[in-house]
């Protein structure tokens, strides 16, 4: 099942609002461990790029569709995602949030979300992996917001479940990636409590 454009746009907004709300809970813990080699500031900086890339890519129209789905996007960006540049971009994005990162994140969301009000999803945008329709690209940003806000919640020792619709869309991406990568069996067994997931198991 694929969400229509108006639904995907709302799910992205819901995920962004959740990210902004959880970022507001950081307080003075920006230097605490975040995820891997990132501190909380870098984790939040990286997550803010899920908003910023929408803004950037809308300004760089593509001429052709190279990738037609979130699954295709993640398969195409696997090698990029594993590179050291991702960690450095996260740190740089965290520093760019300045002296008041929480308010900076809120300001980014306030600036980016209205850009989608004038979009219909058919826009061709140039992503790091090639041209995509906005309607195919946006769910990847919702996925990133959901997963990395969960990382933030865990780093802060809090408990908060993602917005249901955004979580559902993100889980469908996980399922599609598991099938495409030949990992559907292990994922189903782990998700139904039959076997624990292997250490380091991921569909990405």
pLDDT band per the 50, 70, 90 thresholds, residue 168? very high
Query: Is the pTM for the entire model greater than 0.85?
Result: yes
Predicted confidence at residue 36, as pLDDT, reads: 92
Q: What is the mean pLDDT of residues 153-181?
A: 96
The single-letter DSSP state of residue 197 is P
Q: Which CATH architecture has domain 5-183?
A: Up-down Bundle (1.20)
Distance of CA 69 to the CA centre of its chain: 15
pLDDT in tens, 46-79: 999 999 999 999 999 999 999 999 999 999 998 7
Distance separating alpha carbons of residues 124 and 11, to the nearest angstrom: 20
Instruction: Examine the pLDDT at 3 and tell me if it is beyond 90.
Output: no
Place 182 in a pLDDT band, splitting at 50, 70 and 90: very high
Residue 1 has pLDDT above 70, yes or no: no
- Rounded mean pLDDT, 96-104: 97
- Examine the pLDDT at 136 and tell me if it is beyond 80: yes
- Residues 106, 48: Cα–Cα separation, whole Å: 10
Residues contacting 98, CB < 8 A, separation 6+: 104
100 has pLDDT over 70: yes
* CA atoms within a 13 Å half-sphere pointing along the CA-CB vector of 51: 28
């Amino acid at each position: 099942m694929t969400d229509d454009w108006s639904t995907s746009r709302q799910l992205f907004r819901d995920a962004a609002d959740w990210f902004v709300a959880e970022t507001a809970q950081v307080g003075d813990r920006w230097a605490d461990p975040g995820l891997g080699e990132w501190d909380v500031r870098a984790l939040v900086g990286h997550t803010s790029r899920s908003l910023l890339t929408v803004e950037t890519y809308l300004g760089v129209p593509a001429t052709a569709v190279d990738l037609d789905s979130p699954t295709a996007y993640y398969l195409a960006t696997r090698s990029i995602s594993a590179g050291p540049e991702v960690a450095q971009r996260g740190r740089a994005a965290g520093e760019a949030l300045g002296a008041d990162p929480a308010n900076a994140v809120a300001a980014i969301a306030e600036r980016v979300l209205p850009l989608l009000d004038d979009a219909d999803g058919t826009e061709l945008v140039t992503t790091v992996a090639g041209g995509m329709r906005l309607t195919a690209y946006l769910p990847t940003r919702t996925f990133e917001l959901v997963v990395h806000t969960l990382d933030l919640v865990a780093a802060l020792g809090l408990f908060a479940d993602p917005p249901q619709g955004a979580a559902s869309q993100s889980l469908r991406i996980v399922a599609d990636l598991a099938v495409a990568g030949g990992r559907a069996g292990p994922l189903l067994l782990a998700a139904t409590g039959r076997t624990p997931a292997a250490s380091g198991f991921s569909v990405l």
